[in-house]
Amino acid sequence: MRRKIVVGNWKMNASLATNEELLKALTEKIPHSIPVDIVVCPPYPYLFQTESYLKNSPIRWGAQNVAKFESGAFTGEVSVSMLKEFGASYVIVGHSERSTAYCESDENIATKFMMVKKAGMTPILCVGETLIEREAGIMEKVVSKQLDTIIKMYGEEIFDDTVIAYEPVWAIGTDLAASPEQAQAMHQFIREKLSSNTKVAKSLKIIYGGSVNPQNALQLFSMPDVDGGLVGRASLNASDFESICHAAEI
CATH number of the domain that residue 194 is part of: 3.20.20.70
Confidence (pTM): 0.96
Q: Tell whether 5 is covered by a domain.
A: no
| pLDDT reported for residue 175 | 79
pLDDT for residue 198 is more than 80: no
Per-residue model confidence as pLDDT tens digits over 144-195? 999 999 999 999 999 999 999 999 999 887 878 899 999 999 999 999 999 8
Per-residue model confidence as pLDDT tens digits over 27-81? 999 999 999 999 999 999 999 999 999 999 999 999 999 999 999 999 999 999 9
Q: Tell whether 127 is covered by a domain.
A: yes
- Residue range 19-29: mean pLDDT, rounded: 98
| pLDDT reported for residue 36 | 99
pLDDT for residue 203 is more than 90: no
| pLDDT reported for residue 209 | 97
Number of domains composing the chain: 1
- Residue range 185-214: mean pLDDT, rounded: 92
- Residue range 7-33: mean pLDDT, rounded: 97
| pLDDT reported for residue 153 | 97
| pLDDT reported for residue 220 | 98
Q: Which domain holds residue 40?
A: 30-202
pLDDT for residue 119 is more than 90: yes
Provide φ and ψ at 112, rounded to 5°: -65, -40
| pLDDT reported for residue 217 | 98
Q: Tell whether 82 is covered by a domain.
A: yes
C-alpha atoms less than 13 angstroms from C-alpha of 81 in its C-beta half-sphere: 4
| pLDDT reported for residue 250 | 85
What percent of the chain clears pLDDT 70, i.e. is strictly above it?
A: 100
| pLDDT reported for residue 165 | 99
pLDDT for residue 204 is more than 80: yes
Q: Tell whether 37 is covered by a domain.
A: yes
Q: Tell whether 76 is covered by a domain.
A: yes
Q: Which residues are catalytic?
A: 95, 167
Q: Tell whether 23 is covered by a domain.
A: no
Q: Tell whether 14 is covered by a domain.
A: no
Q: Tell whether 36 is covered by a domain.
A: yes
Q: What is the 3-state secondary structure (H, E, C) of the chain?
A: CCCCEEEEECCCCCCHHHHHHHHHHHHHHCCCCCCCEEEEECCHHHHHHHHHHHCCCCEEEEECCCCCCCCCCCCCCCCHHHHHHCCCCEEEECCHHHHHHCCCCHHHHHHHHHHHHHCCCEEEEEECCCHHHHHCCCHHHHHHHHHHHHHHHHCHHHHCCCEEEECCHHHCCCCCCCCHHHHHHHHHHHHHHCCCCHHHHHHCEEEEECCCCCCCHHHHHCCCCCCEEEECHHHHCHHHHHHHHHHCCC
Bridge pairing between strands 228-231 and 205-209: parallel
* Nearest Cα residue to 208 out of 224, 221, 195, 191: 221
